[in-house]
Structure 1
Amino acid sequence: MKFSVLVAIVPEDLEQPAIDAARELDSGGITILSGRGIGNDTKKTFFGLSYDGSQSVLIMVLEKGLSLQVLKAIQSIVMPQETDSKGLVFTLPLEHLGGIDMSQVAKFEQHMKETL
């Protein structure tokens, strides 16, 4: 079985909808980190202080086929229209993996059987 790492960087207000979308597809565990980013746009200022906004970084280890489904689900949340992106989601291939709960592997295998 091949695995991927899915990383989604979303505004804090879209964190829960992104988690819900991943959970609906039986994504398993999700690691959530807080972050800040610097974009290409000029920042909003208030009395000379800039405000970039907070972001959440969601990290998931998924079966390769499931990772594409979760990516598309989260993409529809962070990019509801083709020109208006509010986040970023991508996957990376995972070569080596240790410490994954075997019950999660069984869930991935069951999901694969159901989708085939």
Structure 2
Amino acid sequence: MRFKLILSLVKEDITDRIVDAAKKAGAKGATIIPARGTGIHEAKTFFGLTLEARTDIVMLLIEEHIVAQILDAIKKAGQFHKPGTGIAFVVPVEQVAGLESQIESFKEEVKKSYF
């Protein structure tokens, strides 16, 4: 069984939309990490105080055969074609521990998708 990690960096207000779209496309779950970052656009200021919109990192450990469909669902749900909405990228995963109880269901899903 091979896995990849999809990382999606999005504004807090669309996190739920991203996770829901990923689940509908086949993801089993997600880990959400609050974050902050900088980009090409400067943060807005108000009376000298910097106002930063909270960003979330949505992490999805995905079976390799459904990565493309989940990434596509995330792009659409997050409207990533618009500037400043978010980004997503895929990272290879060398080894996984802790999924032993789910491996059989993963194998069944792989069989279903190929047959």
Deviation at 1:73, TM superposition (A): 0.6
Aligned residue for 1:55? 55
- Secondary structure at the aligned position of 1:113 is classed as helix
**Amino acid in the other structure paired with 1:106:** E
8 Å Cα contact 1:78/1:85 also seen in 2: no
* Gap runs ≥5 in structure 1: none
* Gap runs ≥5 in structure 2: none
Deviation at 1:98, TM superposition (A): 0.9
Is residue 111 of structure 2 the alignment partner of residue 97 of structure 1?
no
Is residue 71 of structure 2 the alignment partner of residue 109 of structure 1?
no
2-structure distance, mates of 1:85, 1:111: 35
2-structure distance, mates of 1:83, 1:55: 16
- Secondary structure at the aligned position of 1:76 is classed as helix
Q: 1:77 to 1:85 in 2, by over 3 A?
A: farther
1-structure distance, mates of 2:42, 2:32: 27
The TM-score with structure 1 as length reference comes to 0.86
Aligned ranges 1:1-116 → 2 under 5 Å: 1-79=1-79, 82-103=81-102, 105-116=103-114
**Amino acid in the other structure paired with 2:34:** S
**Amino acid in the other structure paired with 2:7:** V
8 Å Cα contact 2:78/2:86 also seen in 1: yes
**Amino acid in the other structure paired with 1:27:** A
Sequence identity percentage: 28
- Secondary structure at the aligned position of 1:34 is classed as strand
The TM-score with structure 2 as length reference comes to 0.86
CA-based RMSD: 1.7
